[in-house]
Amino acid sequence: MWNLTLSEIVLVIVALLGVLVAYLVYAWESRRESKRDLPLLDPGLGGVVQYVAGAVAFLLGLMLLFSVQHFSQAEDAATTEAVAYSAAFDISTVLPTAPSTKVQRDLVCLMRSTVSGSWKSASNLDLTGDENTEAWYRRTLDAVDAAVVTGDNDKIALSKLSDELSNSAQHRQTRLLLAEGDLPLVIWIVIFLSIFALCFLVALSLITHPLFMWVSIGSTVVLTGGIIAALVMFAQPFSEPGVTVQPSSLSGVLTRLEHVYPQPSLWEPCPTLAQYVDMSAS
């Protein structure tokens, strides 16, 4: 996935190349038509400009729609992950005191690590995730597996708790995989070729009116740059700059749980079980 700065630089270069080629074509055609005493530009050029502009607008609009849908999927994954954690914690409260306290403490640290470490790995486009979050997840699973319960209701609650933990892991993995949008290189090539063709035709049709030409080209570049910026931002929903999916849902769950279950031992600082290793460049 291209980053925002590179996309904008390529856009400007492509637009300027379109203008340059338009000047070269106009100069070449001027020498030919001056010998034949014919008009330099065909009146039908305006129709071609409209067609290409419409095609570019449709392409960019379609890509932006896909990026917005990708962003919405990332938001949904983050929300459902938070709901799974919340459900797991609430279910753990019906277990006997000894296993319940251990599971709840590990769940709190797992959620805290998700808010910090797992979100950091997503913002870095590191699809391998955060080692500390994975360590706390395994520790929580071990606590659930080690829980000893006898009553039928407790066994049902423990089974549901395991299911919610599995759901949280699934949604966490989905969120990580959605950190980077799937816009292949060929899509970018088509986009920039379309921009080149549009700027070339606009410059060629207005080349005898330089002020109007540069205003039109500038407006085209600014508008297209804004659309491409939005496209890149929505396609990378956890990365700055721009709109990002924040861990607000999970932070809200932690705030609610601390208010409802205020036992101090549950909310002490959590140790780090594993150091995060950024694998985004690998």
Q: Where are the beta strands (DSSP E) in the chain?
A: none
User: Is 2 a residue whose pLDDT tops 70?
Assistant: no
* Whole-number Å distance between alpha carbons of 31 and 27: 7
* Whole-number Å distance between alpha carbons of 235 and 68: 7
- pTM for the model stands at 0.79
- Give the pLDDT band of residue 32 (cuts 50, 70, 90): low
Name the helix (H) or strand (E) containing 140: helix 131-146
* Whole-number Å distance between alpha carbons of 52 and 72: 30
Question: Structure tokens of 153?
Answer: 């209701």
The string of pLDDT tens digits covering residues 148-198 is 777 888 888 888 988 999 999 999 999 988 888 777 788 888 889 999 999
Is the CB of residue 41 less than 8 Å from the CB of residue 205? yes
Q: What is the mean pLDDT of the chain?
A: 84
Which of 6, 39, 49 has the alpha carbon at shortest distance from 204? Answer: 49
User: Is 63 a residue whose pLDDT tops 70?
Assistant: yes
Interacting residues of 166 by C-beta distance below 8 A, sequence separation 6+? none
The string of pLDDT tens digits covering residues 168-177 is 999 999 998 8
Backbone angles phi, psi at 247, to 5 degrees: -80, 40
**CB under 8 A, 24+ apart: contacts of 154-159:** 154/94, 154/95, 154/96, 157/91, 157/92, 157/94, 157/95, 158/95
List C-alpha distances in Å: 189 to 10, 175, 201, 235: 11, 28, 18, 17
pLDDT of residue 34: 56
Residue whose entry in the numeric block shows the structure tokens 């932006």: 64
Pick the most confident of 3-7, 33-37, 40-44, 82-86: 82-86
Interacting residues of 259 by C-beta distance below 8 A, sequence separation 6+? none
pLDDT of residue 39: 47
Question: Structure tokens of 35?
Answer: 């010998």
CA 144, 148, 150, 151 torsion-angle sign: negative
pLDDT of residue 150: 77
> For residue 159, how far is the Cα from the chain centroid?
34
User: Is 225 a residue whose pLDDT tops 50?
Assistant: yes
pLDDT of residue 84: 94
Dihedral of the CA atoms 121, 127, 128, 130 (nearest 10)?
A: 20
List C-alpha distances in Å: 228 to 30, 42, 159, 223: 36, 32, 47, 9
Is the CB of residue 207 less than 8 Å from the CB of residue 30? no
